[in-house]
A and B are shown apart, each in its own frame.
Chain A
Amino acid sequence: MNILNLFIVIPILTVVGIVLTKDLKQSRLVSAIGMGVQMILSFILVYLYLKERATGNTAAMLFTYDALWFPTLNIHYSLGVDGISVAMIALTGIVVFAGIFASWKVTYLPREFFISLIILASGVFGFFISVDLFTMFLFYELAVIPMYLLIGIWGSGPKEYSAMKLTLMLMAGSAMLMVGILGIYFFSSPDHTHLTFNLLEISKIRIPIQMQRFLFQFTFIGFGILGALFPFHTWSPDGHASAPTAVSMLHAGVLMKLGGYGAFRVAIFLMPEAAHEQAWIFLILTSVSVVYGAFSAAVQNDLKYINAYSSVSHCGLVLFAVLMMNQTAMNGAIVQMISHGLMTALFFALIGMIYGRTHTRIIQEMGGLMKVIPFLGVVYVIAGLASLGLPGFSGFVAEMIIFTGAFQHVDVFHRVITIVAASSIVITAVYILRVVGLLLMGPIKNDHFLHLDDAKWYERISTITLVLAITAIGVAPFWLTNMINFSLAPIVEKLSAIQITSLF
């Protein structure tokens, strides 16, 4: 059996297992085992992938599997991974695993909660292993829909409003994507006889430039909404603020990455000419995202809002780097996706844990928490330092690759906009240190906080897993970047073969 199929089978088995359980204890145990296996499997996949590459296999996609699913429209259940998707799968494995442990104490309808969570995760896994656009879209929807239930039922605050807003905005994105994908499908064969959804096959032909101009906007914005592209990012602060911990983790950690990944794999890869032409518009929008998100984060008072805006800023950098369309910057984009996924998952996990103790997320109401919950405090500082790009953690690696890559463009526009985006490192420091200062340092403001318990074992598992992953990438980024670079090379080659007719 193809290893990739397991990434779908294990979540299904886990869901079946949860259905058979009776209470919270059993269902969380089943989930933890299922997702633990899934995480290990994703590491095995990385290992197998590297081993296969070491033998000299240079095919674009490895471990391919193909089954015709819907003959009339030539839809396939087609799987395959390259270095980029393998990296994303490993990220998803880690975040989902940590997410299960962060929701160890869900008391309200635990079985349903874990089922929804795992369906969401399986959608994400399916998305990353699909090569067929239609199947990819299907998995994408599979990931987005449970989000509505998870926020609407297990959320907090104005949860119905947030759930509705998030789902509707993402659905608007899906609608645009649908148009884009169908458009690509109908031009996937020069003579209109052998229409296909297969990414690799489409990439070999050239979609007419007039269609590209039109479809590129649809697909890029469609994915961009999920990747928090300014000005379509406002679902993010509200959605995250209302979502339960694990959902925020998964959403910001991996679901938002679907946007960046899709924008890269579908929009830019299949429509490179249009991408070159229109990149400047989106470069401006994304660099606005980067700086604007950071400035907005600097004045928020709710921990989740701060982190949501910070995600807008960091995910903006992903799309920004993707649009730079050279090897180094795109590599940075993928590393940034992974890095941000881990960091933001860690942040949301910590916020959930702190909220569970203090019952508030307003930073002014807290203070001096380092003294009472040193473990969580230290991890929060680590997450903060990673987020502001301290060497030794993944954020620094990602940002440096992006800035260096983006700066390789010779024209003034790209370089100036790189410097604009780079200035976010200062603003990031401002808002991170503001939070750390108000939340953890200083005297304890509230006497009720004097007797808080520090992290429990399951919380430690959740956070330590993420910290280890962040540090591993930060200290030894080369294996990751090499893996990505190898798969990027043919894509970049295709991009650079195009006569650049952009405005600048």
Chain B
Amino acid sequence: MADYTYTLLIPLIPLFMFLLLGLTGHKMKPVVSGLIGTSGLGIGAILAYATAIRYFWTGHVAGTSYASIKAFEVSWLHLTEKLTIHLGVLIDPISVMMLVVITTVSLMVHIYSIGYMKGDPGFYRFFSFLSLFSFSMLGLVLATNIFQMYIFWELVGVSSFLLIGYYYEKPSAVAASKKAFIVTRFADLGFLIGILMLSFNTGTYDFQTLTDPHGPAIASLGGAAFMGMSVLTWSLIFIFVGGAGKSAMFPFHIWLPDAMEGPTPVSALIHAATMVVAGVYLVARLFPVYALAAPDALHVVAWIGGFSSIFAAVIACTQTDIKRVLAFSTMSQIGYMMLSLGVSGFGGEEGLGFMASNFHLFTHAMFKALLFLGAGAVIHAVHSNEIKDMGNLRKYLPITHITFLIACLTIAGIPPFSGFFSKDEILVAAFHSNKILFAIEYIVAGLTAFYMFRLYYGIFWGKKTHYHHTPHESPLVMTIPLMILAFGSVFAGFLPFHNLVTSDGIGFESHIDWMIAIPSVLIGVIGIAIATVMYKNESAIPDKIAATFKHLYNWAHRKFYMDEVYLFVTRKIIFRYISDPIAWFDRHIVDGTMNGIAGMTVYAAYAIKGLQSGKLQQYAYVFVGGTVILVLIFVYLT
């Protein structure tokens, strides 16, 4: 078996960069700190590509399954006789794929940020946080066991928190970072409970042991039943709750749109391409357990994914902040991936959904990062996030325009761009499993094409907006990453994923099912056509339609009032009806009792202090009086 120990360096280099920049960055010139961070990721990316090539092609005997290799492992913390937390590096198809995704996007974002963040006083801080994030995310995907994953899961969460709140003087950014952290933390509680239950019942954290189709975890299928489902199913549902939190699945999605308060490169890296797909990765990582031992849990995954995808797509059609459109689009696309996992079986062609999900994860990372970075270039040029402040920018930003168009075509599923291939596989997988989910995905495909082109026309075509300063194209340091990602978006679809990333490590034959692909392309084209009619040139149609479906429009525009629901729960219920009464109870009842005891002591002391007056006459008086009473008692009562 090949030696992959060096892969340990891939996460460790960013960690080193984080410490270096975090501790000494304030003494460096901004550009130097940027270059240091970027070069660290550059080395990481080279190593990741080398690993991928070696793992998938040169080191692999054709026709055999891809091995799951523990490249490195140390014991970190011994918990019980059976349970020990290890830290290590696991090399298998999905982790290698994620290595490529993360290092690629992260490197692009690093390069882009050198231009985008230029002149920002916290330049080094930004790069050190980016390095911290890259380290955490790489550690997460390389985890050999579920506890290591949880550790890095939390670290990823905190890097996301730090980067969303990067502009810490802006109250909205602070609120958004807080919201993101707390909502995902709440979901992480589910993850933790899931880990506790799973590890207790299986006696291991180790992924290889857990996911072994003949291993103890899957063999303990029966388990004790609780409320109609096995304990294993429950624990997997809890684990999925954690995944749903990070991946912004309904109803935990509310943090994602607000997270757009962070700098745009951060949105591209964390909230589009890498961290938000951690939930998908988590389910994919435990996929054999889900598929073989807990199909009920997998149904939950499928339905949550399906619902989230249509829910977000509808909202995306009505948003006016370009980053929020993209955020809801991300949520919708991740819903696709979840759904795809949810409808998949295990092994061979049964596992088509698994392959499709990872495939889509891969292509989505490329085109969504591209969309966000493109949006960043636009924001950079016009200093606004609102579509109404844009329009007709294609002349001013030619490179951004072309790359953005490529990304839009890709996400709309137009062949031969990569989105077409990955989406088609998902649709096929859904078709063979559940017709309702399949129908939902068709609708979502149409909506996606529509809202993406609404966005595209709103930015680059449409009305002639008057700009105070003529918008100009971004510097090369920003446009080169756009071009590279555009290249990836166009050609990633030709990667033979069905031979590389499969549920059981064995490749299978996969071909495009034109019976499903042609209608889906048509739906995409119809969505684009409608958007073209409505938004290419300034027209009154959108307003009319919004007026006709006023209620629906308002509901969607206000994101179905989910934010209000959350505010109600947190402000009203948690703060006003739980915390405030508890604090009052503590001060007045519990502490009041203590003060009451003290008060009674003082009162009692006052009450009896007359007995110790020290006046001899009083003592004599009481003494005589007492004697008289006693004498009377003895005389008359005995």
| Interface contact A390-B158, CB-CB below 8 Å | yes
From 68 to 111 in chain B, residues with beta carbon under 8 angstroms from any chain A beta carbon are 75-80, 83, 85
Cβ of B189: which chain A residues have Cβ within 8 Å of it? 422-423, 425-426
Which of A6-14, A181-189, A216-224, A440-448 is near enough to bind chain B? Answer: A440-448
Contacts of B632 in A (CB 8 A): none
A439 to chain B, nearest CB (A): 11
Asked if B158 and A404 make an inter-chain contact with CB atoms under 8 angstroms apart, the answer reads no
A370 — which chain B residues lie within 8 A by C-beta? Answer: 168
Contact with B along A407-442 (1 / 0, CB 8 A): 110000000001100110110011001100100111
Among B584-607, those with CB < 8 Å from A are 586, 590-591, 593-595, 598
On chain A, the residues within 8 Å of B158 by CB distance are 385, 390
> CB < 8 Å: which of A407, A423, A437, A482 contacts B78?
A482
CB distance from B108 to the nearest CB of A (A): 27
Q: Which residue of B161, B165, B171, B582 has the most chain A CB atoms within 10 A of its CB atom?
A: B582
Assembly CA distance A298 to B168 (angstroms): 21
Which residues between 156 and 183 of chain B lie within 8 Å of chain A, taking CB atoms? 158, 161, 165, 168-171, 174-175, 177-178, 181-182
Distance of A405 Cα from B591 Cα, bound (Å)? 33
Asked if A403 CB lies within 8 Å of chain B CBs, one says yes
For the complex, is A158 an interface residue (Cβ under 8 Å from B)?
Answer: no
Q: How many A-B residue pairs have CB under 8 A?
A: 125
Q: Given A401-B79, A404-B83, A422-B193, are A441 and B174 neighbors across the interface (CB < 8 Å)?
A: yes
Which of B80, B188, B189, B200 counts the most A-chain CB atoms under 10 A from its CB?
B80
Q: Does B465 contact A (CB under 8 A)?
A: no
Return chain A residues, CB-CB under 8 Å to B595: 165
Q: How far is the CA of A341 from the CA of B393 in the complex (A)?
A: 58
Query: CB of B583 within 8 A of chain A?
Result: yes
Task: Determine whether the beta carbon of A165 is less than 8 Å from that of B182.
Answer: no
Question: What residues on B are CB-neighbors of A440 within 8 Å?
Answer: 168
Q: How far is the CA of A231 from the CA of B79 in the complex (A)?
A: 31
A295-B579, A391-B151, A437-B175 given; A481·B78 CB < 8 A: yes
Bound Cα distance from A423 to B154, whole angstroms? 15
Q: What is the interface of chain B, defined by CB distance below 8 A to chain A?
A: 75-80, 83, 85, 147, 151-152, 154-155, 158, 161, 165, 168-171, 174-175, 177-178, 181-182, 185-186, 188-189, 192-193, 196-197, 199-200, 574-575, 578-580, 582-583, 586, 590-591, 593-595, 598
Residues of B within 8 A of A429 (CB): 181-182, 185
Bound CA span A391–B165, Å: 20
Q: Is there a chain B Cβ closer than 8 Å to A53's Cβ? A: no
- Cβ–Cβ contact A442 & B575, under 8 A: no
CB neighbours (8 Å) of B83 from chain A are 404
Q: Assuming A234-B586, A238-B591, A400-B147, what are 6 further A-B pairs, CB within 8 angstroms?
A: A368-B169, A441-B168, A441-B174, A442-B170, A478-B76, A485-B78
Task: Please determine whether A443 and B171 come into contact, CB atoms closer than 8 angstroms.
Answer: yes
Interface residues in chain A, defined as those with a beta carbon under 8 Å from any beta carbon in chain B: 165, 168-169, 230-231, 233-235, 238, 292, 295-296, 298-300, 327-328, 368, 370-371, 385, 388-392, 396-397, 400-401, 403-405, 407-408, 418-419, 422-423, 425-426, 429-430, 433-434, 437, 440-443, 477-478, 481-482, 485
Q: Is the interface of A mostly helix, strand, loop or mixed?
A: helix
Set of chain A residues within 8 Å of B193, measured between Cβ atoms: 419, 422
8 contacts between A and B (CB under 8 A): A296-B579, A368-B169, A385-B158, A391-B152, A400-B85, A404-B79, A422-B189, A478-B78
The residue on A at minimum CB distance from B575 is A299
Contact B178 A292 (CB under 8 A): no
Q: Which residues of A contact B161 (CB under 8 A)?
A: 433
Contact: B200 with A407, CB < 8 Å? yes
A391 CA to B147 CA in the complex, in Å? 11
Q: For A403, what are the chain B residues with a Cβ–Cβ distance below 8 Å?
A: 192, 196
Shortest CB-to-CB span from B192 to chain A, Å, is 6
Selected contact of A299 from candidates B154, B168, B182, B583, CB within 8 Å: B583
B586, A437: Cβ atoms closer than 8 Å: no
Task: Point out the residues of chain B lying under 8 angstroms from A404, CB to CB.
Answer: 79-80, 83, 196, 199
Q: How far is the CA of A403 from the CA of B188 in the complex (A)?
A: 14
Looking at A370, A419, A426, A441, the one whose CB has the most chain B CB atoms below 10 A away is A441
Q: Are A298 and B598 in contact (CB under 8 A)?
A: no
Chain B residues with Cβ below 8 Å from A485 are 78
Give the residues in chain A near B196, CB-CB below 8 Å.
Answer: 403-404, 407, 418, 422
Query: What are the residues of chain A within 8 A of B574 when measuring CB–CB?
Result: 298, 430
The docked-state distance in angstroms from the alpha carbon of A79 to that of B57 is 66
Q: Which chain B positions have C-beta within 8 A of A371?
A: 169
A197 to B169, CA, bound (A): 60
Cβ–Cβ < 8 Å partners of B178 in chain A: 433-434, 437
A392 touches B155 (CB 8 A): yes
By a CB distance below 8 angstroms, the chain A residues around B593 are 231
**Contact between chains at A433 and B182 (CB < 8 Å):** yes
A259 CA / B152 CA spacing, docked (Å): 34
**Which residues of chain B are within 8 angstroms of A328 by Cβ–Cβ distance?**
79-80
List chain B residues, Cβ under 8 A from A441.
165, 168-169, 171, 174
Given A299-B579, A433-B178, check contact A401 B169 (CB 8 Å). Answer: no
Closest to A296 in B: B583
Q: How far is the CA of A298 from the CA of B577 in the complex (A)?
A: 12
B77 and A397 within 8 A (CB):
yes
Q: Which residues of B contact A165 (CB under 8 A)?
A: 594-595, 598
Determine how close the nearest CB of chain B comes to the CB of A10; give it in whole angstroms: 34
* Cα separation A400 to B177 with both chains bound (whole Å): 25
Q: Tell me which of B79, B192, B578 contacts A422 (CB under 8 A).
A: B192
A234-B591, A419-B193, A440-B168 known; A298-B579 Cβ under 8 A: yes
